[in-house]
Amino acid sequence: MEFYRFPYLLYELRTAVALTAALITIGSALAGTVYAVRKAALLPPAEAMRPEPPAKYRRTVIERVGLGAILSQPTRIIFRNIERSPLKSLFSVTGISLACAIMVAGTFSKDAVDFMVDVQFRLSQREDMTVTFIEPTSRRALYELKGLRGVEHAEVFRSVPVRMKFGHRSYRTAIKGIEPDSRLQRLLTTKLTAIELPPEGVVLTDYLGKILGIKAGDMLTIEVLEGERPIRQVPVVGLVKQYIGLMGYMELGALNRLMREGNAVSGAYLAADSRYRADIYRTLIEMPRVAGTVVRRDEIRNFYETQAEALLFFTFVASILAGTIAFGVVYNSARISLAERSHELASLRVLGYTRAEISYIFLGELALLTLAAIPLGFVIGRGICAYVATALESDLFRVPVVIERGTYALAAAVVLVSACLSGLIVRHRLDHLDLIAVLKTKE
């Protein structure tokens, strides 16, 4: 089944993304190093020996709008320091948000696959078994299948291999004829509402219509690839969005009339009691006219078993990358800030602030930046997922941009845990500040 190729397509795409990310990282690191070295080399020695001027603080926007009165003094210090260094704060938020985005993009594939499987194999194709005959046969075969013990409902279908042509474009696929008011096979819109097939004309999947450049109301030329290989023309009455495969759909009677073959069918869909499915399957594979039988539940289970290892590996790699980036950004930002503000923090300790208050001032800023970065990371992550879905779009699959709340929660949790770990390390250094050494003025 072509659906099994989905994990490998994801692997190829992620490999390309990883290589691109590595090149961007190396280029950014080199550019930053060259810029820093050049700036240091051009700085006059006399200017470099001057002590750094004291920071200028002013009332923040929050205080100017009248909310400062409800904030404690340490909290006002936090907001003032963030507003004093907007560019640094912006870079910190951007780095942390990218870590969150990587986590979202790395794990959304499971949500997309679950949604595709649910729509395609539970809501649209609701049969328990699919029986395919060796060659088109009479509709009377349906009554024989209904007589099997455990079969609760059965519907026939007709599948005709064709080459569709419109203008200079063509595509080889199949047209499937479905019974009116079918319970086991339904065409669904993107809003998951059922589509009723018209008594005449063909309905195409939207991506097939895009390939052929055809729209509703156009005449489609069909070259049948079985039997006498007749060539027919049929109007396109609509397009339907599907996530797997490309084909056309017709009402069963309309397809029989198009083929001029009477009530021929290619197979049947069965709804069966779970207690008798094994017996039904053994009976079907022994029937001489049956070419094959597919048990839908086994097919879905085999697919998940095939891709489970790949998805687990991708989720693990994404978690490691996101956690490393979040930890690195928060920790480096905290270390740089500690080096820049150690004199200020030590002064506050001398003035009577407790260790808890100093930690609150210092780590509260990092906490605010991290919390501000998570929603931005969700937005960036969704954008990356949309890009991945577009890049994966093909005649095999159209990946929906579906991200569950659990994926967002996992991404936020990884970032928060990484930020907390880096905060604990910095807190340890903060608690062991040498006040006398820090307060010494450089001559």
Token readout for 50 is 């001057």
Picking from 278, 287, 253, the residue whose alpha carbon sits closest to that of residue 141 is 287
In angstroms, the CA 304 to CA 439 distance is: 62
pLDDT given at position 291: 86
Spatial contact of 313 and 10, defined as CB atoms under 8 Å apart: no
- CB-CB neighbours of 16 under 10 Å: 11
In angstroms, the CA 178 to CA 255 distance is: 9
In angstroms, the CA 365 to CA 80 distance is: 10
For tokens 């909290």, what's the residue? 75
What lies within 8 Å, CB to CB, of 106 at 6+ separation is 314, 315, 317, 318, 319, 321, 322
Spatial contact of 248 and 201, defined as CB atoms under 8 Å apart: no
Q: Which range has the worst mean pLDDT, 201-205, 231-235, 284-288, 321-325?
A: 321-325
pLDDT given at position 83: 75
Q: Is the pLDDT of residue 35 over 60?
A: yes
What lies within 8 Å, CB to CB, of 130 at 6+ separation is 267, 268, 269, 270, 293, 294, 296
In angstroms, the CA 349 to CA 126 distance is: 69
Q: What is the pTM of this model?
A: 0.72
Q: How large a percentage of the chain has pLDDT more than 70?
A: 83
Picking from 154, 153, 241, 155, the residue whose alpha carbon sits closest to that of residue 193 is 241
Spatial contact of 371 and 420, defined as CB atoms under 8 Å apart: no
Token readout for 197 is 């097939």
Q: Which range has the worst mean pLDDT, 39-48, 122-131, 180-189?
A: 39-48
In angstroms, the CA 18 to CA 78 distance is: 37
pLDDT given at position 171: 92
Q: How large a percentage of the chain has pLDDT more than 90?
A: 10
C-alpha of 200 from chain center: 38
Give the 3-state secondary structure of residue 195: strand
In angstroms, the CA 328 to CA 9 distance is: 31
In angstroms, the CA 398 to CA 245 distance is: 9
In angstroms, the CA 253 to CA 336 distance is: 74
Spatial contact of 250 and 203, defined as CB atoms under 8 Å apart: yes
Q: How confident is the model at residue 62 (pLDDT cuts 50, 70, 90)?
A: low
How confident is the model over 87-113, as pLDDT tens digits? 878 888 888 888 888 888 877 877 887
Residue type, 204: L
- Share the mean pLDDT of the chain: 79
Q: Is the pLDDT of residue 1 over 50?
A: no
Alpha helices of 119-157 — where are they, by DSSP H?
141-146
Q: How confident is the model at residue 21 (pLDDT cuts 50, 70, 90)?
A: low
How confident is the model over 398-443, as pLDDT tens digits? 778 888 888 899 888 888 888 888 888 877 777 766 666 656 655 4
Q: How confident is the model at residue 223 (pLDDT cuts 50, 70, 90)?
A: very high
For tokens 């479905």, what's the residue? 178
pLDDT given at position 164: 93
User: 208: buried, middle or exposed (CB in 10 Å: 19+, 13-18, 0-12)?
Assistant: buried
pLDDT given at position 165: 93
Q: Is the pLDDT of residue 263 over 50?
A: yes
Spatial contact of 263 and 138, defined as CB atoms under 8 Å apart: yes
Work out the end-to-end distance of the chain between its first and last CA atoms, rounded to an integer number of angstroms.
76
Q: Is the pLDDT of residue 63 over 70?
A: no
Spatial contact of 393 and 317, defined as CB atoms under 8 Å apart: no
Q: Is the pLDDT of residue 379 over 90?
A: yes
Q: How confident is the model at residue 221 (pLDDT cuts 50, 70, 90)?
A: very high
pLDDT given at position 163: 93
In angstroms, the CA 238 to CA 37 distance is: 63
For the chain, give every domain's residue range.
Answer: 2-50+85-121+303-439, 151-272
How confident is the model over 264-317, as pLDDT tens digits? 899 899 988 888 888 888 888 888 888 888 888 887 777 777 665 666 677 677
pLDDT given at position 2: 47
Q: Is the pLDDT of residue 129 over 60?
A: yes
Picking from 300, 296, 323, the residue whose alpha carbon sits closest to that of residue 420 is 323
pLDDT: is 439 or 367 the higher one?
A: 367
Mean pLDDT in residue range 5-14: 54
Q: Is the pLDDT of residue 13 over 60?
A: no
pLDDT given at position 443: 43
User: 441: buried, middle or exposed (CB in 10 Å: 19+, 13-18, 0-12)?
Assistant: exposed
